[in-house]
Amino acid sequence: MPQNKLIMNKIIGLFLSLALAGSSFAQMSGYSSSSYSDGTALGANETSNADGIALGNAVKLRGYIDTRLSHVDKDGNATNPTDISAKADMDFLIDLSPVTAEVHLNVSDSNGSLLEQAFGRYSFNQDLHLTFGRQETVLGYEGDEATDLLAVTRAFSRGAFDHPGRSYVDGVRLNYNNGMFGLIFGIHDSYGIDNISTLDDGMAIDLAASIMFFPGLEAQLGFVNENGGGDDDTQVVNGWIEWNPGDLTLAAEFDSISHHNGSDLFDLMLLANYRFSDFFAATFRYAFMDNDSVESNRITLAALLTVTDNFGLNFEYSHTSQDNADADEFYVQGLISY
């Protein structure tokens, strides 16, 4: 049996074992609904009970405005001039249960109007759902929205190292979530790792499982196989664990990516965040990337100020050290959410 198939079979076996363990533990622990407030979010229907501005009986609007001042200095020279950028994100949530849908729009001063997500969902019951359309990928600890982050920037720069990160893909996904255990299986036109954009060129599958061992301790493991036609396969394994006992958040994440051309990539992220008060929180983050030819170490310090329930003022300093260059980054961010 080819090596790739052996690896894939082992990973699928691990996911099935997690699924059985998660379902059994859910019954013993009393988890019975994906609406459990301290449960995992993977595979859950997060449209029906979401907060937002009501635009009618079935439609809600939520979003944010992200304005930031940035400065990047590489080896003592400002490779990117000091810049001010703005972005507005608008999400429309439609609830016609058992059918729900979401449309996410992003408007920025650099790319005009951009459709991020547009997908529908059919819920067979409170735990099992089918989603179809353009939707966010699930690999990676950090979410796709600025309001999901514990710093101004993300740990990894998508593209420079072909990090999978969070992106938007077209396809169909089967989702299961019983509160403490989540499982998804999707078929997509691509995953954006090898610049595959249509089903004519190939396809991608993703499989991920998450488990909430107890409120505050969650782990997720994900796998992607992207096929560019023929034997041009790329495999990604991503995993993370988060411990959140109150005001402290500790997290660790890894990526292992094997390209069809023989190149490999390994990422590691360690994060610590502590909320000192309702007003002030701080984050320390370390990210390591190795793509066979270049190694990169990035250290981030962030101060997060919650001025009001809907307005945050965030500051970040990051230092990146590579084999051939160092870089210093400074950010000031104003974040308005609604």
Give 25 or 244, the one with higher predicted confidence: 244
Number of residues that make up the chain:
338
Residue 241 has a pLDDT of 97
287: domain CATH number? 2.40.160.10
Residue-level pLDDT at 49: 86
Lowest mean pLDDT among 187-196, 239-248, 298-307, 325-334: 187-196
**What percent helix, strand, coil does the chain show, rounded to 5?**
10, 55, 35
Task: Concatenate the DSSP letters of all residues of 79-97 into one string.
Answer: EEEEEEEEEEEEEEEEEET
- The residue among 169 and 228 whose pLDDT is bigger is 169
Are 201 and 155 in contact, with CB atoms under 8 Å apart?
no
Indicate if the pLDDT at residue 14 is higher than 70. Answer: no
pLDDT of residue 78: 56
Position 80 confidence tier, pLDDT thresholds 50, 70, 90: low
- 270-306: per-residue pLDDT in tens? 999 999 999 999 999 999 988 777 888 999 999 999 9
At residue 265 the predicted structure's pLDDT band, cuts being 50, 70 and 90, is confident
d(CA 101, CA 80): 39
| Cis bond upstream, residue 98 (ω within 30) | yes
pLDDT on residue 327: 86
How much is the average pLDDT of 132-137?
A: 94
For residue 68, which of 311, 280, 313 has the smallest C-alpha distance?
A: 313
State the pLDDT at residue 90.
94
Tokens 């997690």, residue located:
18
pLDDT on residue 16: 46
Using an 8 Å Cβ cutoff, are 323 and 302 in contact? no
Say how far apart CA 185 and CA 41 lie, in whole Å. 15
| Number of neighbouring beta carbons within 10 Å of residue 188 | 23
pLDDT confidence tier of residue 326, bands split at 50, 70 and 90:
confident
Confidence of residue 112 (pLDDT cuts 50, 70, 90): low
Question: What domain range is 151 assigned to?
Answer: 3-337
Q: How many CA atoms lie within 13 A of 147 on its CB side?
A: 16
pLDDT of residue 275: 97
- The pTM of the whole model exceeds 0.85: no
Q: Which of these ranges, 59-73, 116-130, 251-265, has the smallest mean pLDDT?
A: 251-265
User: What is the total count of domains within the chain?
Assistant: 1
Show the CA angle centred on residue 100, arms to residues 174 and 58, nearest 5°. 170
